A and B are shown apart, each in its own frame.
Chain A
């Protein structure tokens, strides 16, 4: 039995959950895997393992499955680190733009200073990174291939660069409107199967089966069934069968590891900026919520309580999606602003509870002493209660800020490339999480440790005082 891995979230025509039986998967990659399994003998069955697309290489090397297939791209980096099959499908990297821009945009060179979306950790993303340096476009990385087109239609993006199959599928889903696909491809690439480096013998067997499937027409039948067959596939098959070993696509050269360091530094700055602004928002809104809960009339106390419970009771990820995508009909927030708002408003609920607890921890006798001295409630808050509550709140606030620094990694789902996302891209490129992971951890620690130290110093000073 062949155990193979792919990402059903990628959807048809690659791999998708079968609508008739969601426990099963279907798609041309599923059928290619089944064809390979038949060729390998031993029962001829294929068992699917779900894996996030960007982790296929790591998982196949770990031995989670023998073969990764799911629109896996042929890149020099992948060939250098894993056993890679011959290419079995040729795709074109195509640009999609809004209809009104089609007359002025003909390629990446026409997109200087504009936002071009794609899927992270792909040839297309590497193409955009190269174009950023050469033509000054702004690459925006997504975790999925649906939202780039939605954001293009909503004018959040100026163009999308992705595989022609994905572009055509997105256009079909939109009923053929909203954007157009430019006919001239930006680059050509190929889909391959990926195996563990040590599995070169199995890879050779898979290559032989794929060649056989090209020769006997089964591969063509599969692609025709899924409406992805075109003349370029025939030409690819001829070329592959002619050459003993397929040449790599070379659509884009992957950047060497060191080249990612400036990007990591930029991403760390983004993490710090998003976290800093979000925390500032959380503190301001949190103070307002806590004050409303402690000093407000009944209706305000109820309202703030509902806000705090709803925010704390629902996932931050969901709140991010709602603010960025859910509100698009009402307000089209830029991704960075949406990230700061979602994180800030989420943490405000936690801050509010910290402040409420801290304010309530100031002994009642001190508040009464303030009253007997003639202070107004506002003066008591400002001069007596607030300053002492700040001391009680400092330690949990520091904890929250460190947690926020790490939670800011979630904002990558709405296209903000921060430290963790950039590290994932780096790791995919170098084929290992070891060095990128250590580097990333070091940067997070470098950001959070001084903060904890500062908080400890302040606490010590205030305690002595």
Chain B
């Protein structure tokens, strides 16, 4: 571990239909650290990420992100999750870009409507982010016009735009060819060198090898 924990998951338990999907998961991610979460399908990797992002209730344990704690029970109302939303970004499997907006608008939407930045400010941030992820030329394209790799990088730019301390990524290499995977790993490393932490759920052992630490989940 390279520093104090930004994310601390302690004995996390999630049940579906009286079956344990996750049981007693304990995990820490330090500032600037990349942690790969591996394991077979259905083992609960995505569930763990969703619980950290407060998209998913859990039954037992605690999750603390940079001092903001989540406890067992229903997901709190969005108004109480504002501090968490500022700290955590999420890159979904299949990118989940807003289909009606251009790549640029996907990235600027939260900057303008959540953080209250002006259109010009937001465009500047988004353009820089897209360029740094090598999709600057595709800023005016809609998601349906992007390749899988381009869409994935736009989704990363969108999640990074509000400048979260922790980035959660669910199977980020699913739509990428080997060359793109290596490039993505390099990009993620650059992000972490700036002090950001990453928790990445992946099946891809080669990609996981670029992480600082690999945590493997086993069926409970």
Contact = CB atoms under 8 A, between A and B. Distances in A.
Nearest to A368: B55
A376 B85 contact: no
B88 interface: yes
Interface stretch (A140-148, A266-274, A377-385): A377-385
B78 A376 contact: yes
Contacts of B142: 465
Contact of B53 (A365, A372, A375, A387): A372
B86 interface: yes
Nearest to A372: B90
A363 interface: yes
B114 A375 contact: yes
B109 A383 contact: yes
A363 B100 contact: no
Contact of B110 (A365, A375, A465): A375
B68 to A, nearest CB: 13
A373 B158 contact: yes
Specify which of A371, A379, A462 lies most central, judged by the most chain B CB atoms within 10 Å of its CB. A371
Contacts of B98: 366, 369-370, 383-384, 388
Contacts of A169: none
Interface in B104-145: 109-110, 113-115, 142
Interface string A52-96: 000000000000000000000000000000000000000000000
A391 interface: yes
Given A363-B96, A391-B100, A373 B110 contact: yes
A370 B96 CA distance: 10
A4 to B, nearest CB: 65
A211 B220 CA distance: 104
A372 B88 contact: yes
Nearest to B106: A369
Given A365-B92, A373-B162, A388 B99 contact: yes
A22 interface: no
Nearest to A462: B100
A41 interface: no
Specify which of A376, A391, A462 lies most central, judged by the most chain B CB atoms within 10 Å of its CB. A376
A50 B123 CA distance: 74
A393 to B, nearest CB: 13
A383 B96 contact: no
B84 to A, nearest CB: 9
B110 A366 contact: no
B78 A372 contact: no
B110 to A, nearest CB: 4
A387 B89 CA distance: 24
A82 B99 CA distance: 65
Interface in A184-238: none
Contacts of A373: 85, 89, 109-110, 114, 158-159, 162
Contacts of B96: 363, 365-366, 368-369
A397 B167 CA distance: 41
B94 interface: yes
B170 to A, nearest CB: 10
Chain A facing B: main interface SS: helix
A256 interface: no
A458 to B, nearest CB: 13
Contacts of B92: 365, 368-369
Nearest to A384: B98
B179 interface: no
Given A366-B99, A384-B98, A465-B142, A371 B113 contact: no
A377 B75 CA distance: 14
A374 interface: yes
Contacts of A371: 55, 78, 85
A154 B199 CA distance: 74
A370 B97 CA distance: 10
B94 A365 contact: yes
B89 to A, nearest CB: 7
B89 A375 contact: no
Given A373-B85, A379-B113, A387 B100 contact: yes
A372 B113 contact: no
Specify which of A370, A372, A374 lies most central, judged by the most chain B CB atoms within 10 Å of its CB. A372
B100 A374 contact: no
A116 B86 CA distance: 69
B86 A374 contact: yes
A122 to B, nearest CB: 56
Contacts of A377: 78
Contacts of A365: 92, 94, 96
Contacts of B85: 371-374
A375 B96 CA distance: 15
Contacts of A366: 96-99
Contacts of B113: 375, 379, 383
Interface in A346-405: 363, 365-366, 368-377, 379, 383-384, 387-388, 391
Contacts of B109: 373, 383
Nearest to B141: A465
A354 B115 CA distance: 33
14 contacts: A366-B97, A366-B98, A368-B55, A369-B158, A372-B90, A373-B89, A373-B109, A373-B159, A374-B86, A374-B162, A383-B113, A384-B98, A465-B100, A465-B142
Interface of A: 363, 365-366, 368-377, 379, 383-384, 387-388, 391, 462, 465
Given A369-B158, A371-B85, A372-B90, 15 more contacts: A366-B96, A366-B99, A368-B55, A369-B90, A369-B96, A370-B98, A371-B78, A372-B89, A372-B159, A373-B89, A374-B110, A376-B79, A379-B114, A387-B100, A391-B100
Nearest first, the 6 A-B pairs at minimum CB distance are A365-B96, A374-B85, A373-B110, A372-B90, A374-B114, A369-B96
